[in-house]
Amino acid sequence: MPVYSHSRLSSFENCPLQYRYRYIDKIKRDVEGIEAFVGKLTHEVLQALYSDLDRARRAGAGEYKEMFRSLWRSRLTPRVKIVREEMTPEDYGALGERCVETYYNRHHPFDSGEVIGCETRVEFALDGQRRYRMLGFIDRIDRVAPGVYEVHDYKTGSLPRAGALKNDRQLTLYEIAVRERFTGVNEVRQVWHFLAHDKKFVERRTQDDLVKTRLSAIRSIQNIEATAEFPARRSALCSWCEYRDICPEWEAERQPVPRAQAQPSVPPPEPSPDMETSSGQFLLFGKSSP
């Protein structure tokens, strides 16, 4: 039986065809969106910070900014793609550094709780028969008092819509995992750090919320497993999809300009932005759709 994750369920919900390419056909793509790249490096720096707190308390924010900068320089390659045309790699590098610096300054000396784990792998069941299983990696787990835990999640992107975190599935699933893993858990707080905005949000769930999230995730898995057709669902997210170059939804945009049109006997009109954006290279680099 496959093990699911929040991202896997989200992929199916956003676009069944993307789900099929990624999780059934297992088509590998050597590309990564720069937003995900910034997030990954920021997580690595904060993991390093929390894995040696004595050092982190003595160091300054500059040391961790420099760690980010060094990772950025050594790992940024052409396989990291920028979708937003108005942004440059330097903009994203500066964003990552700002996230690290802001977090450091806000939370130093990092003593709000006992760190139980960073990037902790959790595997847990949604049902008593262990038929529906989930996997996840929790950015950080803290114990802040006997029986009181926090699951922390770092975000480098934009702030959530009003009320969105009240229905967040990911950290609710992680709360279920924490309640399974540790004994004597009385309370779990779900904590999001929107690093670029220096904002922290905390939510608590009721037992009823946890049951609803379990049942909803089980229904999502059942839906996936009963699916025979995986239709494409075109949306703004296609700009970040690693399969846009093979997706039938984007076939028309990939068609080369016919030769007769490309070399006319009369002067051609000025190419429109649309014509320029229909080249394979445009799509390969995943720039914004019109």
Give the footprint of ligand SF4 on this chain (CB under 6 A).
Answer: 15, 17-18, 232-234, 237-238, 241, 243-244, 247, 249-250
Kindly state the smallest distance separating residue 241's Cβ from ligand SF4, in Å.
Answer: 3
Amino acid at 143: R
Enter the tokens of residue 9.
Answer: 């369920």
Kindly state the smallest distance separating residue 91's Cβ from ligand SF4, in Å.
Answer: 25
Q: Which residues contact 135 (CB under 8 A, 6 or more apart)?
A: 3, 4, 5, 121, 122, 123
Kindly state the smallest distance separating residue 247's Cβ from ligand SF4, in Å.
Answer: 3
Q: How many CA atoms lie within 13 A of 12 on its CB side?
A: 21
Kindly state the smallest distance separating residue 83's Cβ from ligand SF4, in Å.
Answer: 12
DSSP letter assigned to residue 22: I
Closest CB to ligand SF4 among 107 and 234? 234
- Cα–Cα distance between 21 and 3 in angstroms, integer? 17
Kindly state the smallest distance separating residue 143's Cβ from ligand SF4, in Å.
Answer: 40
Torsion angle (degrees, nearest 10) of CA 164, 166, 171, 176 = -150
CA-to-CA separations, 130 to 136, 157, 184, 221, in angstroms, rounded:
16, 34, 22, 13
Closest CB to ligand SF4 among 173 and 247? 247
Kindly state the smallest distance separating residue 288's Cβ from ligand SF4, in Å.
Answer: 13
**Count of beta carbons in the 10 Å neighbourhood of residue 156:** 24
Report the DSSP beta bridge partners of residue 135. 123
Closest CB to ligand SF4 among 20 and 205? 20
**Count of beta carbons in the 10 Å neighbourhood of residue 190:** 21
Closest CB to ligand SF4 among 215 and 237? 237
Kindly state the smallest distance separating residue 290's Cβ from ligand SF4, in Å.
Answer: 14
Closest CB to ligand SF4 among 49 and 247? 247
Enter the tokens of residue 181.
Answer: 């893993």
Closest CB to ligand SF4 among 15 and 118? 15
CB 213 within 8 A of CB 173: yes
Closest CB to ligand SF4 among 43 and 244? 244
Closest CA to 217 of 110, 135, 122: 135
